[in-house]
Structure 1
């Protein structure tokens, strides 16, 4: 193909338990239609970052398309964090929180068109204990769910639903948390503390109605209780913000300390137990091809 335009297409072949062969063929056909040379790189968890970076440095593609879940997107974004590149997202994970928040269409052909032709939108990232988060991270109940989900054999939203029930059943006592932000201190019992750069989990559940991916702020969502009734309200989109059960703090820097180590996850990947999180904003960290005109 006689083309000076090059794209890199990073595919996680096991994300979401989906076969990616048809997806790869569709993307290759879309590239051919646009006279774009596209290189397909399938991740295998072995030295992916180095291989992606080496190919990028040698070829300088205009865009990097990523097919996978939020964890795959985050890995590629971190690998190319100092590069001036536009990322095209092709959601293909068990839960695709970032694309849900960006209001991507469900039609696959429309998603491909956005990845190739969408205008770039700069979005923020959050740094938590030197780990970068694009979307949502948390301590407590949901991180326990992520841990259980990773250890289960049932994938997708059904797997999440089953593990939600199991996690609620096995959850122990609430923990004590201290949040230092905006020059003040909040101390409380908690079931879950969310560091939210956006609004929704990949399942579509709104946990942070204030969230915007490009406002230079993140929110700390403090859930003081989380019984079956409150959990039901949250998953049906009825966040009870007018009660004392949930508190939301908007900031660009915070320290979160717990009295005991608590399960912790970043963008859907379990990261072990933590008792202290140092959190700060990374504004305008990556450019994503967006379904709406860039502001």
Structure 2
């Protein structure tokens, strides 16, 4: 099997780039072929991966954060190649659902020697995602967190916390309509998440019961909260205890249609788009994923 590493030089404020010597060292005594490609900008990872996997099968590793993983995923989707991640971004949320030792020194070797598992794949309109997509205040927090991530002394989690505080005071509620399979819901949206994995936003456990192999989204809706009550929401999201809040509801479904009269901010594995209408679909057993050796 051939190995392809897609490295985002900006991920983790340069941390991903520093892993290249360690990747090379992992193959020091191996005859297996490996290729390292460094991305040059937004969308380049998808382009690079397609160039390789359209010719033959690879074990493809996203070396970066959740945004890098999403770009690589969109290059590998609908092929027989396997996807893995060497977490080296600011959040690294998806890996938390499948591997607990995210700071282990041997994560590179553990991933290279890991076994593959078929897991569910999610799609929003024409873009694939693995972890979590959302609309509402949390999506705007992700958007605003990009400003704080630029400061070298602020960690990924701290960037989200600072962004959350600022966004709470500036957030504008949007009325949205949801069709969850055959159930219709209308709410003054604080946030709504569509989860395949459990964690997002730098470690918030928004979907405690999410299962990457059950063929269903875990949907969390939060109706309109007061500004004061919003401050109680985020600490509970971190712990995964937000079910205690009266305005919080959970659902499971394969397909969700979201519509709004006003444009809403949509977070897709950390990438932000603006839409009025969005369709979410869950593709059971849609991707071969590399599970790091424990």
State the partner residue of 1:97. Answer: 93
Work out the CA distance in 1 between the residues paired with 2:183 and 2:2. 49
For residues 118-167 of structure 1, what are the alpha-carbon distances to aligned partners after superposition, in whole Å with 9 as ceiling and x for unaligned? 11011212111222121111111111112212244335222222111111
Work out the CA distance in 1 between the residues paired with 2:11 and 2:215. 30
Q: Name stretches of at least 5 consecutive residues in structure 2 with no aligned partner.
A: none
1:133-212 → structure 2 map (5 Å cutoff):
133-152=129-148, 153-154=150-151, 156-172=156-172, 174-212=173-211
Q: 1:104 to 1:229 in 2, by over 3 A?
A: closer
Q: 1:88 to 1:278 in 2, by over 3 A?
A: closer
State the partner residue of 1:253. Answer: 255
Work out the CA distance in 2 between the residues paired with 1:287 and 1:250. 23
Q: 1:33 to 1:21 in 2, by over 3 A?
A: farther
Contact 2:113 2:292 in 1 (8 A): no
Could you say what secondary structure the match of 2:51 adopts?
A: helix
State the TM-score, normalizing by the size of structure 1: 0.88
State the partner residue of 2:47. Answer: 50
Work out the CA distance in 2 between the residues paired with 1:212 and 1:108. 24
Could you say what secondary structure the match of 2:15 adopts?
A: coil
The correspondence for 1:267, drawn from 244, 254, 269, is 269
1:54-93 → structure 2 map (5 Å cutoff):
54-58=51-55, 60=56, 62-93=58-89
Q: Which moved more, 1:83-92 or 1:152-161?
A: 152-161
Work out the CA distance in 2 between the residues paired with 1:187 and 1:20. 42
Contact 2:135 2:192 in 1 (8 A): yes
Q: 1:57 to 1:255 in 2, by over 3 A?
A: closer
Work out the CA distance in 2 between the residues paired with 1:21 and 1:207. 30
Could you say what secondary structure the match of 2:206 adopts?
A: coil
Work out the CA distance in 2 between the residues paired with 1:112 and 1:193. 34
Q: Name stretches of at least 5 consecutive residues in structure 1 with no aligned partner.
A: none
Q: Which moved more, 1:152-161 or 1:46-55?
A: 46-55
What's the offset of the Cα at 1:48?
Answer: 4.1
Work out the CA distance in 1 between the residues paired with 2:290 and 2:20. 18
Asked if residue 7 in structure 1 is aligned to residue 3 in structure 2, the reply is: yes
Could you say what secondary structure the match of 2:19 adopts?
A: helix
What's the offset of the Cα at 1:61?
Answer: 5.1
Aligned CA-pair RMSD: 2.1
Contact 1:87 1:115 in 2 (8 A): no
Q: 1:61 to 1:127 in 2, by over 3 A?
A: closer
Contact 1:100 1:202 in 2 (8 A): no
Could you say what secondary structure the match of 1:32 adopts?
A: coil
What's the offset of the Cα at 1:188?
Answer: 2.0
